Amino acid sequence: MFRTRALARSLAPLGDRILVRRAAKETQTSGGIYLPSDKSKSPNEGEVVAVGPGIKDVSGNLHVPTLKAGDPVLLPEYGGAKIEVDGDELYLYREDDILGKFS
């Protein structure tokens, strides 16, 4: 009688917000030493998943973000709102909070 289906949730950032997926923690150093999981820091690199439309200034001009989906970025050590969408751990930052873009 009732049809059930799995709904995939998606999140579209608003304003100048940027949705980022952080890179996975490294558990092995370049020399081959395995690190315990509690000693490995969260990486400061990530990939942009989605970008908001931008913000308007006082005079009404729209400032479009310079980042786009798929860009590799440098993130601050702390900050960002941690959210979970469809089992993925993502972080929401303002464009001003992102430190840089890798080329």
The pLDDT tens digits for 46-72 are: 999 999 999 999 999 999 999 999 999
Percent of the chain with pLDDT over 90: 58
Q: What angle do CA 26, 95, 64 make, to 5 degrees?
A: 135
List of E strands, the chain? 17-22, 45-51, 55-56, 62-63, 72-74, 81-85, 88-94, 100-101
Q: Is residue 101 predicted with pLDDT exceeding 90?
A: yes
pTM across the whole model: 0.77
- If you average pLDDT over residues 22-40, what whole number do you get? 73
Span of 26-30, 37-41, 69-73, 75-79 with lowest mean pLDDT = 37-41
Q: Which two tokens stand for residue 18?
A: 């940027």
Q: What is the pLDDT of residue 38?
A: 61
- How far apart, in whole angstroms, are the C-alpha atoms of residue 34 and residue 45? 20
Neighbours of 92 (CB within 10 A): 19
- For residue 93, the SS3 value is strand
Answer whether 76's CB lies under 8 Å from 97's CB. Answer: yes
Percent of the chain with pLDDT over 70: 83
Q: What is the pLDDT of residue 72?
A: 96
